[in-house]
Amino acid sequence: MVSPNNKWLIFSDLDGSLLDHDTYSHAAADALLAKLDQDEIPVILTTSKTRAEVEALRVELNNRHPFITENGAAVYIPQGYFESKPEGCIERDGFWVYSFSQPRSHWLSILDNAKKIFPYSFSHFSAMKEEVIAQVTGLSQQQALQANTREYGEPISWLGVESAKQVFIQWLEEQGGHVLQGGRFLHLSGFCDKGKALVWLAEEYNKQYEKECTAPALKTIAVGDSDNDVAMLEAADLALIIRSPVHAPPKLKRVRGFFISEEFGPVGWNSGLRKIL
């Protein structure tokens, strides 16, 4: 399926995809990650996680490529990765940053108003202590601290009945918010998603490769397991859906160019990508 005449970019979700849903281990994918690095195929971490969480994981994975945080709210490109700073980016902490959402403070203000309309029906990260976040996510307290350093959006834990959750989501959207259902939480942010971020970053790669007369055609592969991955699974040239032990595979509108792994998490990530590549 994959032609040597193409230059491939892999946009990968983390939790439940590259990382095991329960243990957060990526060991089953390590050999393939090393091979992709050797073959100069970028793996672009595309996640609901924060910049702090992804930076720690990039060190662990020896990943030097751009990454996408908070469900597509922002793209971080290491300064100097491209010949020139992409248009619309700001410089922050050694990165060129392109954002698609208002800052977190905007959404926290809206949630404060929501508590008057939906009392005791939800909680969210900024209202939780790190030990509580650790308990509900399975993260260590240090990892929970990193998870709470959000810049653009807010994870929400719904505590009410399912029917009321839809009313809650509709109300948030009426306030200008965009709500995505992740593996564990609702994610509130601006009108952004992983698909928009994928398209924007792929176009930036294209602009760079156009400077090389012999550059191959650029193609994208998206890997994900949840509803918040649907936008990028639809936007990519090829899509790999990772099976989950806790929910059904997300449904796509596309009828071709997608695959579903046989195994869960990083085991499925490894075998599914190997079959495609």
Distance from C-alpha of 125 to C-alpha of 149, rounded to nearest angstrom: 9
- Catalytic (active site) residue 229: no
Given the residues 13, 20, 225, 229, select the one marked as catalytic. 13
Per residue, the 3-state secondary structure of the chain, as one string, reads CCCCCEEEEEEECCECCCECCCCCCCHHHHHHHHHHHHCCCCEEEECCCCHHHHHHHHHHHCCCCCEEEHHHCEEEEECCCCCCCCCCCEEECCEEEEECCCCHHHHHHHHHHHHHHCCCCEEEHHHCCHHHHHHHHCCCHHHHHHHCCCCCCEEEEECCCHHHHHHHHHHHHHCCCEEEECCCCEEEECCCCHHHHHHHHHHHHHHHHCCCCCCCEEEEEEEECCHHHHHHHHHCCEEEEEECCCCCCCCCCCCCCEEEEEEEHHHHHHHHHHHHC
Dig out the tokens for 102 from the structure: 């208002």
Residue 253: phi and psi, rounded to 5, are: -80, -30
Going from the C-alpha of 10 to that of each of 36, 94, 103, 276, the distances in angstroms are 9, 23, 27, 11
Query: Where in the sequence numbering do the catalytic residues fall?
Result: 13
